[in-house]
Amino acid sequence: MRNVAVPAAVVLAGVLGLAACGGSTEGGDQTVRTADRGAAPDGKTDTPLANTDPCSLLKPADVPELSQKSGAAAKTAGRWCQGSGYGIFISEVDLKGYFGLFKNPTVKPIPDIAGYPAGTIEVAASGASTCAVLLAVTTHEVVTVTADTCDIGRKAATAIAGRIPR
């Protein structure tokens, strides 16, 4: 597997740019049904991964296709984890950013992953392609998994979804 650092950085910049673009929160959006469960009665929004090391969310055995080399541990930089052939980013967004991501035409909706709304973005840069899988933990917290293919990204996102505290 190749290192996806450069394409992952491009995807991450695009994802964050999409979140910054915002979008409408009107119109009875069905996607919010699962993601909004983090809202507390006092109006504060729960971010269950706020103090989580993103590298702790994925183990080598979870997705053998990542061909993680022994001794080549993933590196954490804040809310970003870079491994061999993948990346994980935990981002906090407001409702406008959430709808900007999940209502953007570049995000292809996919079936929920472990009850979390999900979508994919495929990006080709510098002759390499990367897929970002977006996983809406709540309407205020999104996990982005980058991988060489969307199939591998979905497998990684599924493993990650199983480690999100409920």
Average pLDDT score over residue span 155-162: 96
Cβ–Cβ under 8 Å, residues 133 and 147:
yes
pLDDT of amino acid 33? 37
Could you tell me how far CA 17 lies from the centroid of its own chain? 14
Please compute the mean of the pLDDT values over residues 89-109 and round it to a whole number: 89
Confidence (pLDDT) at 15: 57
pLDDT higher than threshold 90 for residue 118: yes
Q: Is the pLDDT of residue 64 over 90?
A: no
Burial class (CB in 10 A: 0-12, 13-18, 19+), 1: middle
Q: Which residues contact 10 (CB under 8 A, 6 or more apart)?
A: 123, 125, 130
Task: Judge whether residue 114 has pLDDT over 60.
Answer: yes
